[in-house]
């Protein structure tokens, strides 16, 4: 039973930390910290691969089939794989990532933003020390 109580305390702690992140931090803060920036990039790319890439591949394959049967031959048979890879990369590289970044990953999992929270704690300790010296 003690383990269950500890789990509940963790949930409450992380909920408070998540609320703190949501209230006081903006996208630029997450991007300025190398650890959270890397997490955002990774999560963004994984989301793209899971949700967008399959739709893009289906679209490309439909266009490719149509072009082979009725079109100009713009997408030649021997280049299908390379053209598909270039098409998928072209779309990903031109997404406005800052618009599509999902910060809720940090609100739900504040431990992923521990570097920001530790930085905040250090800043508060320095301010407390300076205030005590005055």
- Whether the pTM exceeds 0.85: the reply is no
Sign of CA dihedral 56, 62, 65, 66: negative
Asked if residues 30 and 113 have their Cβ atoms less than 8 Å apart, the reply is yes
Q: Say if residue 1's pLDDT is above 50.
A: no
Asked if residues 29 and 103 have their Cβ atoms less than 8 Å apart, the reply is no
Max mean pLDDT range (7-21, 67-81, 110-124): 110-124
Backbone dihedral region for residue 14 (phi beyond 0: left; psi -120 to 50: alpha; all else: beta): alpha
d(CA 37, CA 97): 11
Q: What is the pLDDT of residues 15-68, one digit of tens each?
A: 788 888 999 999 999 999 999 999 999 999 999 999 999 999 999 888 888 887
Q: Kindly state the DSSP code that residue 133 receives in the 8-state scheme.
A: H
Q: What percent of the chain lies above the pLDDT cut of 70?
A: 75
Please report how the helices 114-133 and 34-47 are oriented relative to each other, as an axis angle in degrees rounded to 10: 160
**pLDDT computed for residue 119 by the predictor:** 79
Number of domains, the chain: 1
Domain that holds residue 75: 2-133
- If you search the block for the tokens 């909920």, which residue do you land on? 15
Top-confidence residue, 98 or 71: 98
Asked if residues 30 and 107 have their Cβ atoms less than 8 Å apart, the reply is no
d(CA 103, CA 100): 9
């Amino acid at each position: 039973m003690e383990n269950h109580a500890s789990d509940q305390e963790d949930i409450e702690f992380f909920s408070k930390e998540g609320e703190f992140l949501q209230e006081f931090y903006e996208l630029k803060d997450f991007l300025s910290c190398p650890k959270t920036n890397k997490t955002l990039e990774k999560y963004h790319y994984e989301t793209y691969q899971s949700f967008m890439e399959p739709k893009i591949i289906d679209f490309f394959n439909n266009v490719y089939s149509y072009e082979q049967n009725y079109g100009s031959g713009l997408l030649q048979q021997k280049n299908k794989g390379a053209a598909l890879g270039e098409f998928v990369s072209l779309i990903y590289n031109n997404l406005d990532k800052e618009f599509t970044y999902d910060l809720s990953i940090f609100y739900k999992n504040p431990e992923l933003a521990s570097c920001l929270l530790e930085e905040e704690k250090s800043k508060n300790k320095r301010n407390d020390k300076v205030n005590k010296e005055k």
